Amino acid sequence: MHKRETFKNVFEHYMSRYSAGCFTVGDTIEFDKKILNDPVFKGLQPDLQLRVKDMVDAQVAGDAIIMVANVSLEPLHDEQAHPSTITIGYSMGGGRYYDPVTVPGHLLAHMKRIENGANLPDLIPAKHKINYDEKFSKTAQPADLAKAEKNRTQGHVTSTLM
């Protein structure tokens, strides 16, 4: 039989958004183009530089939403937590990310949080949003019953009329 171990001391540490470099999982971010000239960025591996540059370009062009997938903190230093790495990725909504990239926490200086929160499922890149108000009328339109009956008898799928 195993001897049950107990803790003699338990330590707690409160980590807030602000002690984690102002970023938490699920935050939508925006890049500052200066990231491409940062010495830390230039010191990254060429493949990683290219992936981050692609993210910057896609986000600036309005083709992608970039979100924080993970923030790693280094051990406490001078009673302060500092992000050691941040993982960012293209958002698919609902807390799903693809092509995640982990970069040094120093590069947070070139990122800005534009939306707070986790799992924002309704974010769509601006260029790909559909304005349904322009596509559909807001006022009730009479149904064409003759056309509906014709489609019904010919085996076409139509909307149900009540």
Kindly state the average pLDDT of the residues 129-137.
Answer: 64
Per residue in 44-103, pLDDT tens?
A: 999 999 999 999 998 888 888 898 888 877 665 555 555 678 899 998 777 778 889 999
Reduce the DSSP state of residue 117 to 3 states and report it. Answer: coil
pTM (predicted TM-score)? 0.61
Which residue has better confidence, 80 or 151?
151
Contact indicator for 97, 69 with CB cutoff of 8 Å: yes
- pLDDT computed for residue 133 by the predictor: 64
What does R_g of the chain's alpha carbons equal in angstroms?
Answer: 25
CA 23 to chain centre: 12
Token pair 């986790």: residue? 118
Reduce the DSSP state of residue 34 to 3 states and report it. Answer: helix
Report the C-alpha gap between 103 and 43 in whole angstroms: 11
